[in-house]
Amino acid sequence: MKNLLVFFALMVMALPGYAADKAVIGELAPEFSLSDTNGKSHALSDYRGKIVVLEWTNHECPYVKKHYGTGNMQTLQEQATADENVIWLSIVSSAPGRQGYTTASEANAVIEKAGAKATARLLDPTGETGQLYGAKTTPHMYVINAEGTLAYKGAIDDNPTPRPETVKTAKNFIVPALAAVKEGHMPEITQTNPYGCSVKYKLF
């Protein structure tokens, strides 16, 4: 029986999209290094001393389209990064051949069309960074304080539907999380269940 349970656990971990979550609230956020759409490398440690927002994205996902189509995500990005001490990194963990995958040039076209205001869009086609953070959906949001500690992870808001009209009445979780870490303390809400399309990690 024990061997069977071990085998089952290993099979589950091997499933596409399984995320081995190493991003723990109150602990240092996992280090990573990814290239952006212009070929520049970004390591999390590059931004120690600044607040970092991580946004997992997939431009073909209806839930992502809700936030970009209404301008909600761009507004959040612009307002957050108006503070020079806040960095916003959008991350694409879609694997080649799967929904949301883009080359660097294609990603730049997506950024331009959407008018995205993130600091940079990082490409994670192997899914290594997404798996490291346990990113499950698009969007899936993370807020890291200036000391490098993970202060929030989960949904962007409390309305888990792809309907654009829900943006206006939804309770946003990122704005209060940013306000809290700027004031030097943990947010009142540190973790919620993310919603959206599953991250399109590589298959076997």
Read off the pLDDT of residues 51-90 as tens digits, 9 standing for 90 and up: 999 999 999 999 999 999 999 999 999 999 999 999 999 9
Could you identify the residue written with the tokens 């991003």?
A: 23
Of 15, 11, 54, 10, whose CA–CA distance to 31 is shortest? Answer: 54
Look up residue 119 and give its DSSP letter.
Answer: S
Q: Count CB neighbours of 74 within 10 A.
A: 16
Q: Count CB neighbours of 204 within 10 A.
A: 5
Which tokens go with 11? 């099979």
The pTM (predicted TM-score) of the whole model is: 0.90
Q: How far apart are CA 156 and CA 204, in angstroms?
A: 30
**Structural domain boundaries in the chain:** 21-198
b/e burial code for range 168-183 (CB count within 10 A of at least 16 → b): eebebbbeebbebbee
Q: Are 81 and 75 in contact (CB under 8 A)?
A: no
* E strand residue ranges, 14-156: 33-36, 41-43, 51-56, 86-92, 120-123, 137-138, 140-144, 150-154
Looking at 3.40.30.10, 3.20.20.80, 3.40.50.2300, 3.30.465.10, the CATH number of the domain 21-198 comes to: 3.40.30.10
- What integer pLDDT is reported at residue 20 of this predicted model? 56
Q: Are 26 and 150 in contact (CB under 8 A)?
A: yes
Taking only the tens place, the pLDDT of each residue in 185-200 is 999 999 999 999 999 9
Taking only the tens place, the pLDDT of each residue in 11-36 is 333 344 444 578 999 999 999 999 99
Taking only the tens place, the pLDDT of each residue in 58-67 is 999 999 999 9
Which H/E stretch holds residue 123? strand 120-123
Q: How far is CA 150 from CA 25, 26, 31, 90, 153, in A?
A: 5, 6, 11, 16, 8
For the chain, give the percent of residues with pLDDT over 70: 90
